[in-house]
Amino acid sequence: MTAHPATADHAPGRPVPLGSILGALRRGAGDPTWHQERHQRHQGHQSHGAIWRASRTPDGPVTLRLHLEPAQTGDRVVARAWGPGAGWALQGLPALLGADDDPSGFAPREDVLRRAAHTHRHWRLGRTRLVLEALVPAIIEQRVTGKQAFGGYRQLVRRWGAVAPGPPEAIAAMRLMVPPSVEQWRRIPSWEWLRAGVDAQRADTIARVLQVAPRLEECSALPCENAWQRLRSVRGVGVWTAAETMQRACGDADAVSFGDYHVAKDIGHALTGSPVDDEQLERLLRPYAGHRFRVQFLVTAQRLGPARRGARLAIPTHLPG
């Protein structure tokens, strides 16, 4: 595998909070497809180190390394890519970093939300354009704790994925892996799903998704309304699972994670002082139509929900996806 990468850069003329833009793509601290280098000095302050991501694009596997470099105005994100999917990944670099996201119509009404929006004013919602990459882990995360889901996904990727392309020594040191292909996901026997903590109901939903994988991958190029309809047409893909997928793959700024154990409670607490249920949340977010996920992101990023006890990953179950 060649160690000579293809390169590209993106300089939007503003600071780029790389970690918060890409952070939702990481499936837990032990995600085999993700590695972050140690912090480095950047423009006089401590910043996050380079981020490595391994993905499976329509053109094949790719390893993408992203890091910030000083620019005259704002930040410059420099990307290096290895593997058959390098060209595809670099072509989508601006979209991945939120170039297609337009927050101009977002007008926070509550003081707490205005302050959060100011703190994260440079954040943009990126899109990977990779539907299965977002959808399969979301199904694994249905109805279980984050810790359980991340552990199961990690086990399946390590067992059935492939070593990421790139500099052999660096890839080996990071133990970076590319997620399984559609065919590789299909080959996983039932007992391997169970061993990874994925019950038959979720495994069956993944099997149905894989049967129509090419049609689902097209969702990234469809209008959001049509993409939602296509995702929801698969039995077992509910509102929560579709929203988690639309946020990451399609950059849908209106995709609220209804059905999540924490989201309604956290947003209700932040905006009204009291937890709400999903029905109340829908009414509460109506003034933010088109930008409802921005509210969810800001509340989560600023930890504006009620205080929680214990480890954040050991959370109560998600509701059915």
Domain residue extents for the chain: 6-102
Q: What is the pLDDT of residues 100-134, one digit of tens each?
A: 999 999 999 999 999 999 999 999 999 999 999 99
Using 50, 70 and 90 to split pLDDT, how confident is the model at 47?
Answer: low
pLDDT for 1: 44
Please list the alpha-helical segments (H only) found in the chain. Answer: 18-22, 86-91, 93-96, 111-119, 131-140, 146-160, 168-174, 182-187, 190-195, 200-211, 213-217, 224-232, 239-245, 263-272, 278-284, 292-301
Is domain 6-102 given the CATH code 1.10.3470 in the classification? no
Region 281-300: what's the mean pLDDT? Answer: 98
Contact of 129 with 219, CB cutoff 8 Å: no
For residue 82, what is the enclosing H or E element? strand 75-82
Answer positive or negative: Cα dihedral of 62, 7, 53, 253. Answer: negative
Residue 228 to residue 220: CA distance in whole angstroms? 10
Residue 254 to residue 306: CA distance in whole angstroms? 23
pTM for this prediction: 0.92
Q: What is the pLDDT of residues 10-36, one digit of tens each?
A: 999 999 999 999 999 999 999 999 999
